[in-house]
Amino acid sequence: MVTEQMGRWESGALAHAVSDPFGQGPLPWLRGSEQYFENGQMIPWYVGLRDGTSATAGHSTGHINGPRNADDVACQIKGFASGDGGVSPGESIDFRITVNPPQPFSVDIYRIGHYGGEGAAKIGTSPRLSGIVQPEPLAADRTVSCHHWWLSWRLQIPDYWSTGAHVAVLTTADGHRSHIPFTIRDPEPADLLLLMPDITWQAYNLFPEDGRTGASLYHAWGGSGRLLGEEQAAVTVSFDRPYAGAGLPLHVGHAYDFIRWAERYGYDLAYADTRDLHAGRIDPSRYRGLIFPGHDEYWSVPMRRAAERARDDGTALVFLSANSMYWQVELEALPSGDPDRLLSCRKRRGPGRSALWREQSDPEQRLLGIQYASQVPEPYPLVVRNAEHWLWESTGAAEGDELPGLVAGEADRYYPRTPLPEHSGRMLLAHSPYHDRTGTLRHQETSLYRAPSGALVFASGTFAWSPALDRPGHTDARVQRATANLLDRICKRD
């Protein structure tokens, strides 16, 4: 394998060993004026090079008049935000950025949301900054960290900025671009709290995807540019490093899809990261519901206990993806004392019990109502069940109707031999046949139950639910209405 010519999705597909039809999705902050010409065609600026040449070499045989995605081999521009979770208005956030070759660069700040259909709005721009080549990433026992990089820019968050999901778009003078996602945490109560799954994002991060050094909790690069499997992957990964490729986490699109849809319909949202839930910076009693909008696979013990207490105290839980709460993880401080910057999960390695929640006498079904079943190699229809239930009200869905492509990526189901949570009512709202990678017939299920506290707990059981809300080419009006029925009931809308 010639790693110098490896593109993001070539290595990414290998690294994650799954087809990911609902990964990053289209970058949602595309503005109509920000397009460029390539070989005589108008190209949106989120599209990377397609001519097969090495973007890693920093050039192309084609004529490019617009930004090109940076990569992890040349590291034309790469960066990360220092911190242990979301940042509040009035606080500051530090960006540590490497630029190769050294040259000026700028940072544009976008907020994800619904802005007349645009998907995001530019809310700020840095001064012209001087870029330097930062030291090589440090690596020890497969753990890669850039915590020793020099500070490049400190952003003071104005008190008047809206809280929410944000992206810093980094652009060099010679037209290379990368991204840094971050969350501005909401200090005020709201109907719904959206939790960005930054812990799971970091578990999948293979930075640097250079064929030499990078490692995630799934894979690591061997010395010859070969991807090694889970047995040789990292046990501990660091938050102090950029995300691989163009700088956006795998699966980030799930959260952005939900945000655009929810803000379009006026839901009262607050925002935080899952590390905020882990660290106890969230008081669930301030919200009617906690929303987990995307792939949220890696959970610490404090995260789970906080979610359980929230449910038991009457706060609803909404899981809009599949394979939630699968691995148990630990968050640790750096030797300097900076908290929650190292993520550890030994998975099935070494003596003792696996790090799977279900193999530690605490299966995820006891909170979710269903739990992970398998990967879904190609999309299948979601088959409506119990269509008379209020969740399907006014959707037009009838018993047995098939919603095309709504079982995809990964799927959950109900396990009859696994304990259920205590409940005063429970319903399975989809029962969908599909074939896994071995050709075995399986069934996906969507679950809703009411806890004794009165809190509703919903689990979609599929990766495709959030994209059906606002992903171009994937929207489904029935899923949109069903989600509105759920959130309206949680928020007690008329």
Question: What are the structural domain ranges in the chain?
Answer: 3-238, 283-326+364-491
Alpha carbon distance 397, 386 (integer Å): 10
Instruction: Look at residues 453, 183, 204 and name the one whose alpha carbon lies nearest to residue 307.
Output: 453
Q: What is the pLDDT of residue 246?
A: 86
Q: What is the pLDDT of residue 353?
A: 67
Q: What is the pLDDT of residue 54?
A: 33
Sign of the torsion formed by the C-alpha atoms of 334, 339, 345 and 350 = positive
Instruction: Look at residues 198, 278, 210 and name the one whose alpha carbon lies nearest to residue 71.
Output: 210
Per-residue b/e over 435-471, b at no fewer than 16 CB within 10 Å? eeeeeeebbbbbbbbebeeebbbbbbbbbbbbbbbbb
Strand order in the sheet with 92-99: 77-82, 92-99, 153-156
Is there a contact between 474 and 254 (Cβ–Cβ < 8 Å)?
no
Same fold, 3-238 and 283-326+364-491: no
Q: What is the pLDDT of residue 65?
A: 53
Is there a contact between 384 and 432 (Cβ–Cβ < 8 Å)?
no
Alpha carbon distance 18, 405 (integer Å): 17
Give the dihedral of Cα atoms 13, 464, 311, 183; nearest 10 deg. Answer: 60
Q: What is the pLDDT of residue 29?
A: 39
Regions of the chain where pLDDT drops below 50: 1-21, 26-40, 42-64, 494
Q: What is the pLDDT of residue 22?
A: 53
Query: What kind of fold does domain 3-238 have according to CATH?
Result: Immunoglobulin-like (2.60.40)
Q: What is the pLDDT of residue 66?
A: 62
pTM: 0.90
Q: What is the pLDDT of residue 11?
A: 42
Rounded to the nearest 5°, which phi and psi values hold at 460?
Answer: -70, -35
Angle at 322 between CA 319 and CA 328, to 5 degrees: 85
CATH class of 283-326+364-491: alpha beta
Q: What is the pLDDT of residue 348?
A: 78
CB atoms under 10 Å from CB of 261, counted, come to: 22
Sign of the torsion formed by the C-alpha atoms of 66, 68, 74 and 78 = positive
